[in-house]
Amino acid sequence: MRVHLGSDHAGWELKSHIVGWLVANGYEPVDHGPDRPVPDDDYPVYCLRAAAGVAADADAGVEALGVVIGGSGNGEQMSANKVRGIRAALAWSEETARLAREHNDAQVVAIGARMHSTVEATGFVATFLATPFSGDPRHARRIGLLRSYEDSGELPPLPQG
């Protein structure tokens, strides 16, 4: 599986660790940068590219997921979610990483490097990559509502009753 990564200066060290972990565990990392810590860099530059790489691979039929990393992971998640067709989730535990895939079919996980140890964050990535989407009809229906809104800009109808 291909794994696209992007970070800012606060996430650079963890991203570098995750790239090595991915290689050691048989994944194909694609590092969208930065290639060194750059103080005052702008995380959207790298995180948008990582998410766009995941989306392009999906369009080409290539199995791929993404990891974006910053100080808190919040801005990185927001950036990834701006890419059409991408669902990015902020993970703060192995359970949230698992549920992001299992319930939301998220293709990108965001992690706050200043919020977690390297061991914890690596566990989030491992869990995220190993967990498939459940395919449960209620989760698929909800994802469908998001896709429909993204495509049309029309809000889903309110439930009757």
CATH number, domain 2-133? 3.40.1400.10
Q: What pTM was estimated for this model as a whole?
A: 0.97
pLDDT for the residue 161: 79
> Taking residues 74-80, what's their average pLDDT?
98
Give the other-Cβ count within 10 Å of 74's Cβ. Answer: 14
Pick the catalytic residue from 103, 116, 120, 139. 103
Q: Beta 88-90 vs 28-31: how paired, if at all?
A: unpaired
Say yes or no to pLDDT of 96 above 90.
yes
Residue 85's pLDDT band, with cuts at 50, 70 and 90, is: very high
Calpha distance 28→49 (Å, rounded): 16
Residue 41's pLDDT band, with cuts at 50, 70 and 90, is: very high
**Is the bond preceding residue 34 a cis peptide, omega within 30 degrees?**
yes
* 17 carries an active-site annotation: no
Calpha distance 108→78 (Å, rounded): 11
* 63 carries an active-site annotation: no
**Burial state string for 8-37 with b = 16 or more CB within 10 A and e = fewer than 16:** bbbbbebbbbbbebbeeeebebbbbbbeee
The rounded mean pLDDT for the chain is 97
How buried is residue 81: exposed, middle or buried, by Cβ count under 10 Å (0-12/13-18/19+)?
middle
pLDDT for the residue 69: 98
Pick the catalytic residue from 4, 9, 32, 76. 76
> Taking residues 46-58, what's their average pLDDT?
98
H helix or E strand, kind and range, residue 108: strand 108-112
Residue-wise pLDDT tens digits, 112-158: 999 999 999 999 999 999 999 999 999 999 999 999 999 999 999 99
pLDDT for the residue 48: 98
Calpha distance 70→75 (Å, rounded): 8
